[in-house]
Structures are given as structure tokens and as C-alpha cells.
């Protein structure tokens, strides 16, 4: 697979990474652990070198999974993980409270290092901006960890352009991870210009719209009772029906390219900027191979123009998160 550098940093990764959250958390049913170890190793064999996890996924079990599966490939792969949540107190919903105090960051990094079985974390993201912890203090804490050799690169997730600037002034930010796809294009307003100016890479999560852009979900689809998409307004049946127009657009382009709608969605992202590295998640080998195939699809200027003109007439319906989660974004 082709490689890309995240902004002006020297961090080089495969053009497509692998989001690993669904291997342990959020999407149901949770797959067999041994099967996921095999899938992660199959991804490396197929050229994927960039893997995304977080302390909260599981919690903890996703980091442990990657630590086991990727142990034979040390030095050949880049693992990104995240900090910034406080374990729930009695009576609280689990992982509902943010905590990016410097002392907390320096404490939890030790657990992530142990679970991932590494001496240093390749890319350490703040999972969500904590309004109670000044971003300068957060950046300073990660800077200390970098100087100690425990972290190699600093990242942010779902941060506003202003927050990115403030953090970058203290410790250079290697990458911002936020949602971006044809189904959610808000980053084009302020985020992408800011990242380009500062030389910061962009790692879009949910590049397939939590599965919707693959064309395999419609208004009749039912999710497992524990699947978090049941709580997402954009996934109610009425909105899924309305948003089918976006999938129809992708299917029309896919037919011309002998591809799938999901591949076109990923190829579109790759065509936006050379420093964009999407991280589609999957728990199935055939989907992994389909996603990897997107890196070989060449969307011409005419193709991109056709997509842009058609997409301009489509308004995606429904919020992408429940209200409480949405409040944690773009701070």
C-alpha cells in the first residue's frame, strides 16, 4: 500500500489505517478475540501499518488486543491510542466524565504502555477536549512524556481550530483525528485550512459514516439492542431513508469505476489532501480487503467534480451524535 506522512511530521503510515474500536466496543455483537488477532495480523500482511485504539475502548481490552496481535511487528507498525477520560465514580455512567489534568495523563500513560506492550506510544491523542484542563497544560504534559521517551507524537481529537493552534504553540501537533466524510463535511470550514497552514495531518474517523456509506444499511435495517447506533439521531429509520440519496450518488460513481460505494467514499477522502489518512474500522476480512482496495482507485478531476455537484443538492438529515456527545466536539 502507498504511504503518507501526517503533515510535516516524520510520521509515515499506510494511506489507509485501521480503526479498531469495533473489535471490542460499541458495535454488537463483540467478535471473538482470537478472530480479531488474526484480522489485525492479516491487515499488516496486506500493507496496513497504522492502527487506532483508545484506553476507553472496552475499556482497556482494545489496547490489550492490539498489544497481543501486533507484538510480532514492533518497528513495522504505528499504534495510536488516546487519553482523557476518568473512570466513573459510584452512581455515574461509565466513562462519562473527562479528565485531562496533567497528573492524570502522566498516570494513565503507564497503563496504555503496558497494555500495548510498547516502550513508547507512537501517537497519543487527547480523546476529547476537557474544558476543565487548559489545552496548554495538556500539551505541556504530553511534551514532558515525549521528552521522557514515553510518547513519540502528540495528537488531538474533535478539537476546534483555535484549540489546535493553542496546543500546537506548546507542543507541535502531529495529527488531528475527527469525523470527516461525504456524510459529515464540517471540517472543511475551518479545520482543513488550519491543518494545512500548520502542517498537521488529518485522520478522519467514521470515514464510511459508521457503515452507512457502504450501502449495506437502509431504513429497514435493525441493529443489535446494544449497538450504539440505536442512540444516534442520524440512524433513526426516517433519517436513514432520507440519507439514502448520498448512497445512491456513491453507487452511481462506483458502477463507473467497478468499485463499491464504500470504496468510492474512501477514495474521495484520499483525494482531498495528501496528508489525510482515513481509518475505517471493520471486524471482517472481506471488508478489510474491500477498504484497502479503495487506495488503488483513481478519482479524476471530472469524477470529483461530479461528486461535488451532486452532493451539493443533498442535505444529510439527523445529528451525528446524541446531544451530550455532540457537546464534547469542536471545543
Q: Which residues are the active-site residues?
A: 57
Contact yes or no for 250/182 (Cβ under 8 A): yes
Interaxial angle between packed helices 261-272 and 285-293, expressed in degrees from 0 to 180 and rounded to the nearest 10: 50
- What whole-number distance in Å separates Cα of residue 100 and Cα of residue 196? 26
49 forms bridges with which residues in the sheet?
A: none
- Can you say whether the dihedral through the CA atoms of 215, 296, 156, 19 is positive or negative? positive
Helical H segments across the chain, by residue range: 33-45, 61-70, 102-116, 135-147, 161-170, 191-198, 237-242, 244-257, 261-272, 285-293, 301-311, 323-326
Contact yes or no for 68/41 (Cβ under 8 A): no
Q: How would you list the strands of the sheet with 201-205, edge to edge?
A: 18-19, 50-52, 78-83, 121-126, 151-157, 173-179, 201-205
Contacting residues for 261 by C-beta, under 8 A, at least 6 apart: 213, 214, 215, 247, 250, 251, 254
Amino acid at each position: 500500500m502507498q504511504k503518507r506522512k501526517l503533515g510535516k511530521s516524520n510520521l509515515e503510515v499506510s494511506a489507509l489505517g485501521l480503526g479498531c474500536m469495533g473489535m471490542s466496543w460499541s458495535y454488537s455483537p463483540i467478535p471473538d478475540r482470537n478472530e480479531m488477532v488474526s484480522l489485525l495480523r492479516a491487515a499488516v500482511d496486506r500493507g496496513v501499518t497504522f492502527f487506532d485504539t483508545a484506553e476507553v475502548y472496552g475499556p482497556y481490552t482494545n489496547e490489550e488486543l492490539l498489544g497481543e496481535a501486533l507484538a510480532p511487528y514492533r518497528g513495522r507498525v504505528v499504534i495510536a491510542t488516546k487519553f482523557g477520560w476518568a473512570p466513573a465514580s459510584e452512581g455515574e455512567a461509565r466513562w462519562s466524565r473527562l479528565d485531562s489534568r496533567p497528573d492524570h495523563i502522566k498516570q494513565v500513560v503507564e497503563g496504555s504502555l503496558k497494555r500495548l506492550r510498547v516502550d513508547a506510544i507512537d501517537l497519543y491523542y487527547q480523546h476529547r477536549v476537557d474544558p476543565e484542563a487548559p489545552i496548554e497544560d495538556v500539551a505541556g504534559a504530553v511534551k514532558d512524556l515525549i521528552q521522557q521517551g514515553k510518547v513519540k507524537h502528540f495528537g488531538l481529537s474533535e478539537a476546534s481550530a483555535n484549540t489546535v493552534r493553542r496546543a500546537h504553540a506548546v507542543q507541535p501537533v502531529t495529527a488531528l483525528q475527527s469525523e470527516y466524510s461525504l456524510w459529515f463535511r464540517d471540517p472543511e470550514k475551518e479545520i482543513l485550512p488550519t491543518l494545512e497552514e500548520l502542517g498537521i495531518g488529518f485522520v478522519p474517523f467514521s470515514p464510511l459514516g459508521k457503515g452507512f456509506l457502504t450501502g449495506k444499511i437502509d431504513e429497514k435495517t435493525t441493529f443489535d439492542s446494544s449497538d450504539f447506533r440505536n442512540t444516534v439521531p442520524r440512524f433513526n429509520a426516517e433519517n436513514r431513508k432520507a440519507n439514502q440519496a448520498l448512497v445512491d450518488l456513491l453507487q452511481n460513481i462506483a458502477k463507473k469505476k467497478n468499485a463499491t460505494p464504500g470504496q468510492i467514499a474512501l477514495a474521495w477522502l484520499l483525494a482531498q489532501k495528501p496528508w489525510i489518512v482515513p481509518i475505517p474500522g471493520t471486524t471482517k476480512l472481506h471488508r478489510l480487503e474491500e477498504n484497502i482496495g479503495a487506495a488503488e482507485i483513481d478519482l479524476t478531476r471530472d469524477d470529483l467534480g461530479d461528486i461535488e455537484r451532486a452532493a451539493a443538492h443533498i442535505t444529510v438529515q439527523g445529528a451525528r451524535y446524541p446531544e451530550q456527545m455532540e457537546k464534547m466536539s469542536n471545543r
